[in-house]
Amino acid sequence: MIEIRELKQAQMHPGLLESFRHIQRITDKYVKKGNAYELVRTDEIRQWNAEKRIRLSQYLCRQADSGGAVVGAFASEGRLVGFASLDGTLQGAADGPKYANLTMLFVDDEWKRQGIGRNLFERICLCARDRKADRLFISAISSYETIAFYFSMGCTDAKSIIESFVDTEEDRYLEYALKEDMR
C-alpha cells in the first residue's frame, strides 16, 4: 500500500533521501536536430551520491518554503519511495497561460513500474491547479524512458519555453495542460 501526500517543510530534513535508490542508465536519448528530435544511442549513468541526496533534500525544503509543493509516496513502513515537486513561481505572458515548473519527479529504483510515478504526477498537477497554474512546464532529462513516461501522461513538447524554468540545454522541454475539473 502506497500513501501519496503533500509534505510540509517541517517534514523535510537532510536525511530525507538517505535510503532513496536512484541509478539511471540511459541507453537512448533524444537530441534536438533543427526543429525535431532524433533518438540516438548513448551509454550514460546518472547516480546520486550522499552529497547530492543532501542537496536535493535541501532543495525540496526550499521548494515547499517558497510557496511550491513537494509530494511524497510512502511505503507502508513509512519509507519515501517517490517524490515530485514544483517551485512557487508562475510564469507566462500576461495574456497567456500561467505555467508552474515541475522541478522533480523520481521513483525509487525498486518501486518503478507500479503506478507511483503516475500517482505523483496526478497529485502534483492538483497542487499546480491549487496555485492557479494553467499548465506545467517540464525541463526533462532527454532519456527515452523519461520522455515516454511524460508522453504517456499526456505531456507534449512545450509550445512556450520558459527560460527561467530550463535546467539544461540538453533537456527536452515539455508541457502539460492542467484540466479545470482536476479536483
Digit-coded pLDDT (tens) for 48-106: 998 999 999 999 998 988 899 999 999 988 889 999 999 989 998 888 899 999 999 99
Is residue 97 domain-resident?
yes
Is residue 37 domain-resident?
yes
State the CATH number of the domain containing residue 170: 3.40.630.30
Region 13-24 average pLDDT: 89
Nearest residue to 82 via CA among 90, 71, 73, 94: 73
Bridge partners for 6 per DSSP: 71
Residues 6 or more apart whose Cβ sits within 8 Å of residue 101:
86, 87, 89, 91, 136, 137, 139, 162, 165
Number of structural domains, the chain? 1
CB 183 within 8 A of CB 129: yes
Is residue 139 domain-resident?
yes
CA 81 to CA 117: how far, in whole Å?
Answer: 10
Is residue 182 domain-resident?
no
What is the model's pTM? Answer: 0.92
Is residue 165 domain-resident?
yes
The share of the chain scoring above pLDDT 70, in percent, equals: 98
Is residue 80 domain-resident?
yes
Is residue 106 domain-resident?
yes
Which three-class secondary structure state does DSSP give residue 29? strand
Say whether pLDDT at 183 is over 70. Answer: no
Is residue 183 domain-resident?
no
Q: Which domain holds residue 13?
A: 3-177
Banded model confidence at residue 181, pLDDT cuts 50, 70, 90: low
CB 143 within 8 A of CB 173: no
CA 148 to CA 42: how far, in whole Å?
Answer: 17
